[in-house]
């Protein structure tokens, strides 16, 4: 629930006995940071979103880190469980849901998923 996985992905994560699906989740999160770092420009850019109307903010890594600080404080003050993981989801959604159109995420089936390459 914290990482807003679609039902199929969430079920696979719960049933993950060998860790392969957990690896996909971690890779999915890491690739968001990797991609934001590649596009860490001092201006808004659609270079890595692939759609001219979907922009990453200027310095997206900084923006994501600021989101972690801001949202973790909010989640802690609300007494939410796992506040840092919730804040990490918010920060990675800066890239993973740049369109703001996704309600949930289906993780890649390939555990060697390498993002845009």
In a domain, 115, yes or no: no
Residue whose entry in the numeric block shows the structure tokens 């404080």: 73
Residues 6+ apart with CB under 8 A from 11: none
In a domain, 101, yes or no: no
In a domain, 54, yes or no: yes
Residues 6+ apart with CB under 8 A from 84: 68, 72
In a domain, 61, yes or no: yes
Cα of first residue to Cα of last residue in the chain, in angstroms, is 28
pLDDT in tens, 54-108: 999 999 999 999 999 999 999 999 999 999 999 999 999 999 999 999 999 888 7
How many domains, in total, are found in the chain? 1
Residues, the chain: 117
In a domain, 41, yes or no: yes
Instruction: Give this prediction's pTM.
Output: 0.83
Q: What domain range is 50 assigned to?
A: 7-96
């Amino acid at each position: 629930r914290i990482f807003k996985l679609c039902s199929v992905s969430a079920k696979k994560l719960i049933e993950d006995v060998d860790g392969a699906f957990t690896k996909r989740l971690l890779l999915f999160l890491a690739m968001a940071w990797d991609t934001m770092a590649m596009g860490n420009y001092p201006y808004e850019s659609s270079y890595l979103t692939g759609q001219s109307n979907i922009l990453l903010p200027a310095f997206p890594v900084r923006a994501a880190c600021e989101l972690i600080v801001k949202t973790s404080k909010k989640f802690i003050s609300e007494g939410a469980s796992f506040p840092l993981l919730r804040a990490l989801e918010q920060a990675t959604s800066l890239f993973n849901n740049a369109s703001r159109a996704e309600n949930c995420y289906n993780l890649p089936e390939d555990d060697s998923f390498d993002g845009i390459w």
